Amino acid sequence: MTVGVLALQGDFREHREMLEQIGAPVVEVRLPKHLAQVERLIIPGGESTTIGRLLAIYDLLDPIRRRAGRDLAIWGTCAGAILLARTVLDARVAGQEVLGVMDITVRRNAFGRQLDSFEAALDMPVIGDEALDAVFIRAPKIEALGEGVEALATLADGSYAAARQGR
């Protein structure tokens, strides 16, 4: 099972390195031909507007949309969650390119500026029994879950830090 890491912008190297450390076959996805080699895809943090534009430029939007939820499981962190969301609040650019394949509502930069960054311990039983150390730097917040979307981690204010729809 090969894992792709979207490698257009953002912290893709860190994701690739972690996958390599655990022995997972990994491909950096920059073009549709790379996407065709993977069964799983990680969309990393970065700048969601930039990544969305690059997805369009490199003709990856439609191939990812077509495969999402069928033969491609996708994990989005930070900007990746924004790109997966069907509804994005506080979009930097009107008409921001997103994949829109997950029935969630996400607010960009929900916790404020970089100065407002924080760390939190998240309970995510789907990953393991130990709390996960999560870092929130200009992070989005999942404000609403659509039908069939399961919360995987909840913040103290009741908003969601992680969610799953399907696989």
More reliable by pLDDT, 132 or 56: 56
Tell me which residue has tokens 């506080």: 90
3-165 topology per CATH:
Rossmann fold (3.40.50)
**Rounded CA gap, 12 and 1, in Å?**
19
- Please tell me the predicted confidence (pLDDT) of residue 150: 96
Is pLDDT of 25 > 80? yes
CA 58 from centroid of its chain's CA atoms:
18
21: amino acid identity, one letter: Q
User: What pLDDT digit, counting tens, does each position of 36-88 carry?
Assistant: 999 999 999 999 999 999 999 999 999 999 999 899 999 999 999 999 999 99
- Please tell me the predicted confidence (pLDDT) of residue 166: 87
**Rounded CA gap, 112 and 70, in Å?**
35
Strand order in the sheet with 160-165: 85-89, 102-107, 141-145, 160-165, 149-154
Pairing verdict, β 141-145 and 102-107 = antiparallel
- Please tell me the predicted confidence (pLDDT) of residue 98: 94
> What region does 41 belong to: left with phi over 0, alpha with psi -120 to 50, or beta?
beta
Q: What is the mean pLDDT of residues 114-136?
A: 88
**What does residue 161 show for φ and ψ, rounded to 5 degrees?**
-100, -20
pTM of the predicted model over 0.85: yes
User: What pLDDT digit, counting tens, does each position of 5-23 carry?
Assistant: 999 999 999 999 999 999 9
- Please tell me the predicted confidence (pLDDT) of residue 69: 83
Please say whether the beta carbons of 88 and 104 come within 8 A.
Answer: no
- Please tell me the predicted confidence (pLDDT) of residue 156: 84
**Rounded CA gap, 34 and 79, in Å?**
20
User: What pLDDT digit, counting tens, does each position of 134-151 carry?
Assistant: 888 889 999 999 999 999
Residue-range domain boundaries for the chain: 3-165
> What region does 92 belong to: left with phi over 0, alpha with psi -120 to 50, or beta?
alpha
- Please tell me the predicted confidence (pLDDT) of residue 14: 95
Is pLDDT of 95 > 80? no
